[in-house]
Amino acid sequence: MPYTVILISPEEKEHLDGCCAPRVRYEIKSEIFGCCIKLLTDEKALAETWQENFSPMSQAIRSHGRLYVFRDPSIAENTVRFDPYSKTVFLFNFSYYGWIKSIALGLCGDILEDEHGIFSIHGACVDVYGRGLALVGVSGAGKTTQTYGLLRDPHTRIISDDWFFGRVFGPEILAYGSERNFYIRQDLSAIWKEFGGLVAANEYDADGRAVADIRWVVGKGRLLPLTTLGTIVILHHDPSDPRILCRMEKDETLALFTQNGYFNPHLLVRDARKTAIRDRSLGELLDRTDCYLLNTTGTPKETQEQIRNIIGIKTE
């Protein structure tokens, strides 16, 4: 992982807060699945991107978690300090917005798994004919590419392209979205032409990404706040494995998740207590879903056909 989270004491948090508070120029409260997360920064571009990304929260609501983002030449690049007691994160010298927003989602997830029995999945989630499909895997596995490929089908609606929250209701798992607009790659249209022109070329950041409102392409009615999750597809790339698609049992799926850090590099705390919470939540998820392992050694379009066959939508 290009950054390491270091846990700090409440006393260290108070010290950093005292150093950062005088520099704050933008305070933005945002709603992430019922949590009020406050961004504090002096960077105008970051503040504007954040406001496009997340839904606003009333200023009258007290924050559940706080995210300080600043530059300091005396501190190493991509430094993260987290006080788990006050739910306060300090980020120093971060340039990539994708990590900033993922750490914010990780902060929200930390709160929800402790207090409300709600768990985080770092992956995409779509609804097809009223049934939810999740795509998970390590970074670069193709989750985003395949999600937008599915959206070309008119019966597919999107919950999230990167991170969603799950909650057990009786025999079902409900999956909830996390972001108002999505942080997309500029090269997305090179694979799926339908998504060209979402963002002007000069509006992408230095990493070739931008927050975009995909409603302009798919329509307002195809972004949903939640779905009932029924299927999980784990994407992996292994040329040495002759298998393309296989159905997985609960135990082997749970082992694959834990071996890969739950496919989530943005969890802020990793200790025995948190592992027990996550394993229990994951077990409940796998009891209620069908899980497949899909090897992405083919072209994106070949992988897309495999996913469409799983969920029963028309292949091209």
The average pLDDT across 273-287 equals 96
Model pLDDT, residue 3:
93
How far apart (Å, rounded) are the C-alpha atoms in residues 250 and 266? 24
Q: Which residue has the higher pLDDT, 189 or 225?
A: 225
Nearest to 244 by CA among 173, 312, 306: 306
pLDDT digits (tens, 9 = 90+) for 79-105: 999 999 999 999 999 999 999 999 999
Residue 164 pairs in a beta bridge with 121
Instruction: Tell me if 271 sits within 8 A of 113, measured CB to CB.
Output: no
Distances (CA, A) of 81 to 16, 29, 225, 261: 9, 20, 31, 20
- Cα–Cα distances in Å, from 302 out to 180, 239, 299, 306? 30, 15, 5, 7
What six digits make up the tokens of 177?
A: 């979205």
DSSP string, 222-250: GB-SEEEEEEEEEEE--TT---SEEEE-H
Task: Give pLDDT, residue 22.
Answer: 97
The sign one gets for the Cα dihedral 53, 59, 60, 66 is positive
User: What mean pLDDT is predicted for residues 146-150?
Assistant: 94
- What is the rounded average pLDDT of the residues 43-53? 97
Residue 28 pLDDT > 90, yes or no?
yes
Higher pLDDT, 216 or 15: 15
Query: What are the tens digits of pLDDT across the range 123-137?
Result: 999 999 999 999 999
Is pLDDT of 239 > 70? yes
* Averaged pLDDT, 173-195: 90
Residue 232: count other Cβ atoms within 10 Å of its Cβ.
Answer: 24
Among 55-69, 112-126, 135-149, 167-181, the range scoring the smallest mean pLDDT is: 135-149
Sketch out the chain's domains with CATH numbers: 4-116 (3.40.449.10), 120-311 (3.40.50.300)
How is residue 143 written in tokens? 């989750």
pLDDT of residue 1 exceeding 60, the answer is no
Q: Is residue 188's pLDDT more than 90?
A: no
pLDDT of res. 116: 95
The 10s digit of each residue's pLDDT in 98-121 is 999 999 999 999 999 998 999 999
Mean residue pLDDT of the chain comes to 94
- Using the predicted structure, report yes or no on whether residue 200 has a pLDDT greater than 90: no
Work out the angle between the directed axes of helices 300-311 and 143-150 (0-180°, nearest 10).
60
Please state the rounded mean pLDDT for residues 229-248: 95
Question: In this predicted structure, what is the pLDDT of residue 183?
Answer: 94
Tell me: pLDDT of 198 over 80.
no
Percent above pLDDT 70 for the chain = 99
Q: Kind and range of the H or E element at 291? A: strand 290-295
Q: How far, CA to CA in Å, does 66 sit from each of 79, 102, 242?
A: 16, 14, 46
Do 134 and 175 contact (CB within 8 A), yes or no? yes
Average pLDDT, stretch 22-48?
A: 97
Q: Is the pLDDT of residue 45 over 90?
A: yes
Looking at residue 143, its amino acid is: K
Q: 182 pLDDT exceeds 90?
A: yes
